[in-house]
Amino acid sequence: MKTLYLTVLISFSAPSFAALPEANVLLDNWKEAMYTPAETSKIKMTITRPGQDSIVREADVAYKSNKGQDTKIFMRFSTPAKIKGTAFLSLKKSPTENSDQWIYFPAYKKARRLSSRKKTDAFLDSDFNNGDISFEYHLGYTFKVLREDKLGDKAVYVVEGTSPADADTLYSKQILYIDRDTKLNLRSDFYNKKGELFKEFIVEKWGKYTDHWAIDSGIMRDIINKGETKIEFVSRNTKKMPSDSQFTLVHLERGE
């Protein structure tokens, strides 16, 4: 009788640990929550450096994708005057392939293709890399869920993504903080190839648009150099389907 009592007591008093979800399931849920086949938007980018005046840039953006297949991004800056007409094009055939990227500067009248090693370069002197703009932040990484935690008042899953030292990736490691309820990523920590934490992206505001979520504002911070770039979506239209002609070198080099 005493043995039965102890068994029952232990079964009711022992803590219950829920199994952590698979990392790939969390990533797929996040992508699904954000998925939209098309979007046109206006963005404002504010670049801040210690001891300097902030630089504000505005651009028109077009996006098109078919569930991660044939993803297209076009961006043309309208202000300030010194970079007006500068444009960026990214084309990605499938989730497992690297993007093809081009940048157009009006002064040269011709688009320049970015090599893979240029994807780690700063995007127009901001704290984003060229590769950050093309939805390749998960390509080449192995992810695992480390633990459950709290980020402010949010319950999150902490997910680690690592890549081999010789891999052609932007970072050696990423740490993601995925909201347990909304399935959205709230923050990303990025480690350089030396293994140092050197950037973090914090989502300030998520917005709900019909049946998907999108980032309304977020900040990329340079931990080492103390700079930051804030990106805000001033307007967003998810009902207008951009034409395929917008995502071509001909359109890129029009400069309009």
Looking at the predicted structure, is the pLDDT value of residue 42 above 80? yes
CA distance 147 to 63: 34
What 3-state class would DSSP assign to 30?
Answer: helix
Cα 173 to chain centroid distance, Å, stands at 14
Q: Which residue has the higher pLDDT, 143 or 238?
A: 143
- CA angle centred on 176, ends 174 and 181, rounded to 5°: 165
* pLDDT band per the 50, 70, 90 thresholds, residue 93: confident
* pLDDT band per the 50, 70, 90 thresholds, residue 205: very high
* pLDDT band per the 50, 70, 90 thresholds, residue 120: confident
Cα 156 to chain centroid distance, Å, stands at 18
Mean pLDDT, the chain, whole residue set: 88
* CB distance 89 to 245 below 8 Å: no
Model confidence pLDDT, tens digit, residues 5-37? 333 333 333 344 468 899 999 999 999 999 889
pLDDT number for residue 17: 46
* CB distance 42 to 235 below 8 Å: yes
CA distance 247 to 195: 36
Q: What is the pTM of this model?
A: 0.87
